[in-house]
């Protein structure tokens, strides 16, 4: 439900731009508002889940997501849509990390690769179903149905969670770190806000500089607080674990490309190349199909070659394929585009299966909740920065010209996100060749 919603909304951005009489680039606010709300509340998700029980919290979060989905469909202005997407993000802030906590806490360690592979399946089904579903909806109805479709899916999801997810007994989380949460929320908000504002001319330069200063100051203050606190809301000490650190830092760079691509591709196809939303959805379905095709073979590849080798090789291929759309033109054969997107989806799925699993290879059971919370915050911030980075590169490529977005304007954004994604490779090289061997089923050399 959550991933279909986000990917369908990306496909519908040109239609929303016409409805709200807004620049398509500025519509990224509807995407980043959701991620911002998710990232701000997510630090508290681990404590909330431990305090009130993962299943209860998960079902409550689904209810918030459903109500806000309906409100999004009734939006009549861009500010209204941004407001209700923010409310959606509050529900998603608990759905994502608490869902991961349920899976990681329940799965035997020797089956963690398979469990995490299944856990990431919705992230693959969403991009697979979202774009063509959005194209179909926009062809026979109007954009609000992109949100209304969540209602039957969410109701079925609530029934399934109540039926199949067992109650988990978590350790006492102790008192809530209110000061740390306030500092973390300020740092996250200011960082994402700075990424949204810097360089695109929406606000004066002094405001941009002030936002950056607040972000840096709040981050430094939180780091100092976390070092003194026994139970900080975000435990940065987990970064001392090599496998977790490589997964988080490398994942940030890779997710800049992942966050920018769903924003840039629909604009390239519909605005740059003049395709319709349904045609765009049918072509971009290749990304999800490639990702789905990876799932049956990912555990075997990780057992055969190990996490380190898979991460290094898949990073090079993922970054390269992320940059290829820079050269898509009206004359580019559609089968070639489909192949590039399909292989790119396969490699991206392999990369994230390895990343999301190796992160927990050396995490003690008592720290799983904190590790899951920190991971979700970092990942969502990276996705938001990716959207902002893609928007900034597109703005720079236009040179301030608000006229038609020709395909040539997309060369800089796609090449830039490809280069940033490639920077994760050196971080993976620092891993031990036997990193994650205990959970990947690979014999230690």
Give the separation between CA 382 and CA 368, rounded to whole angstroms. Answer: 21
Please check whether residue 445 lies inside any domain of the structure. no
Model confidence pLDDT, tens digit, residues 380-410: 788 778 878 888 888 888 876 655 678 989 9
Considering the domain architecture, whether residues 103 and 194 belong to the same structural domain is answered as no
DSSP 315-384: HHHHHHHHHGGGG--TTS-HHHHHHHHHHHHHHHHHHHHHHHHHTTTT--GGGHHHHHHHHHHHHHHHHH
The yes-or-no verdict on residue 294 having pLDDT over 50 is: yes
Residue 336 maps to which CATH number?
1.20.1250.20
Q: Which of 217, 232, 247 is the last residue of a domain?
A: 232
Model confidence pLDDT, tens digit, residues 150-168: 889 899 989 998 888 888 7
Which residue's structure tokens are 């390239």?
Answer: 268
Considering the domain architecture, whether residues 170 and 299 belong to the same structural domain is answered as yes
| CB-based contact 190:215 (threshold 8 Å) | yes
pTM for the whole structure: 0.76
| CB-based contact 165:57 (threshold 8 Å) | no
Distance of CA 114 to the CA centre of its chain: 21
Considering the domain architecture, whether residues 88 and 191 belong to the same structural domain is answered as no
**pLDDT score, position 445:** 46
Considering the domain architecture, whether residues 77 and 226 belong to the same structural domain is answered as no
Considering the domain architecture, whether residues 269 and 300 belong to the same structural domain is answered as yes
Considering the domain architecture, whether residues 195 and 147 belong to the same structural domain is answered as no
Q: What is the mean pLDDT of residues 230-246?
A: 90
Q: What is the mean pLDDT of residues 294-306?
A: 87
| % of residues, the chain, pLDDT over 70 | 93
Region for residue 130 given its phi and psi (left: phi exceeds 0; alpha: psi -120 to 50; beta: otherwise): alpha
What's the pLDDT band for 421 if we cut at 50, 70, 90? very high
- Range of 194's domain? 177-232
Considering the domain architecture, whether residues 187 and 67 belong to the same structural domain is answered as no
Please check whether residue 171 lies inside any domain of the structure. yes
Model confidence pLDDT, tens digit, residues 316-361: 999 999 999 999 999 999 999 999 999 998 998 899 888 888 888 8
Model confidence pLDDT, tens digit, residues 422-440: 999 999 999 988 887 777 5
Task: State how far the alpha carbon of 84 is from the alpha carbons of 15, 68, 391, 426, 429, in Å.
Answer: 18, 6, 22, 40, 42
Distance of CA 387 to the CA centre of its chain: 10
Please check whether residue 46 lies inside any domain of the structure. yes
Considering the domain architecture, whether residues 319 and 215 belong to the same structural domain is answered as no
Give the separation between CA 158 and CA 153, rounded to whole angstroms. Answer: 9
Considering the domain architecture, whether residues 342 and 223 belong to the same structural domain is answered as no
Domain count across the chain = 2
**pLDDT score, position 127:** 60
Considering the domain architecture, whether residues 187 and 250 belong to the same structural domain is answered as no
Considering the domain architecture, whether residues 16 and 47 belong to the same structural domain is answered as yes
Please check whether residue 9 lies inside any domain of the structure. yes
Find, among 299, 314, 310, 315, the residue nearest to 440 by Cα.
299
Give the separation between CA 194 and CA 4, rounded to whole angstroms. Answer: 28
Q: Which of 167, 201, 232 is the last residue of a domain?
A: 232
Considering the domain architecture, whether residues 197 and 278 belong to the same structural domain is answered as no
């Amino acid at each position: 439900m959550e991933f279909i919603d986000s990917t369908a909304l990306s496909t519908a951005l040109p239609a929303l731009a016409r409805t709200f009489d807004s620049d398509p680039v500025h519509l990224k606010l509807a995407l980043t508002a959701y991620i911002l709300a998710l990232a701000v509340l997510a630090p508290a998700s681990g404590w909330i889940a431990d305090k009130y029980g993962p299943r209860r919290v998960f079902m409550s979060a689904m209810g918030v997501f459903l109500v806000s989905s309906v409100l999004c469909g009734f939006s009549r202005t861009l500010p209204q849509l941004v407001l209700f997407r923010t409310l959606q993000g509050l529900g998603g802030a608990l759905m994502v990390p608490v869902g991961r906590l349920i899976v990681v806490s329940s799965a035997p360690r020797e089956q963690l690769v398979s469990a995490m592979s299944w856990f990431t399946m919705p992230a693959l089904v969403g991009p697979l179903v979202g774009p063509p579903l959005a194209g179909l909806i926009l062809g026979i109805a109007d954009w609000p149905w992109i949100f209304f479709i969540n209602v039957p899916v969410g109701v079925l999801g609530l029934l399934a969670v109540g039926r199949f997810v067992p109650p988990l007994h978590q350790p006492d989380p102790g008192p809530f770190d209110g000061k740390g949460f306030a500092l973390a929320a300020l740092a996250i908000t200011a960082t994402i806000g700075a990424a949204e504002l810097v360089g695109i001319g929406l606000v004066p330069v002094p405001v941009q500089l002030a936002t950056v200063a607040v972000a840096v100051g709040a981050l430094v203050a939180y780091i100092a607080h976390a070092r003194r606190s026994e139970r900080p809301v975000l435990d940065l000490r987990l970064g001392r674990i090599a496998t977790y650190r490589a997964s988080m830092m490398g994942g940030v760079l890779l997710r800049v490309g992942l966050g920018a691509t769903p924003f840039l591709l629909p604009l390239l196809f519909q605005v740059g190349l003049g395709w319709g939303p349904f045609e765009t959805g049918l072509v971009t379905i290749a990304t999800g199909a490639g990702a789905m095709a990876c799932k049956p073979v990912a555990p075997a590849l990780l057992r055969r070659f190990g996490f380190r080798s898979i991460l290094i090789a898949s990073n090079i291929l993922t970054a390269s394929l992320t940059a290829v759309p820079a050269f898509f033109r009206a004359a580019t054969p559609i089968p070639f585009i489909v192949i590039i997107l399909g292989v790119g989806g396969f490699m991206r799925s392999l990369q994230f299966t390895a990343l999301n699993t190796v992160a927990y290879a050396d995490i003690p059971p008592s720290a799983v909740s904190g590790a899951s919370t920190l991971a979700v915050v970092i990942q969502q911030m990276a996705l938001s920065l990716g959207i902002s980075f893609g928007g900034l590169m597109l703005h720079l490529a236009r040179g301030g010209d608000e006229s038609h977005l020709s395909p040539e304007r997309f060369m800089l954004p796609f090449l830039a996100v490809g280069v940033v994604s490639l920077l994760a490779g050196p971080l993976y090289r620092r891993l031990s060749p036997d990193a994650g061997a205990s959970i990947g089923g690979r014999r230690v050399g």
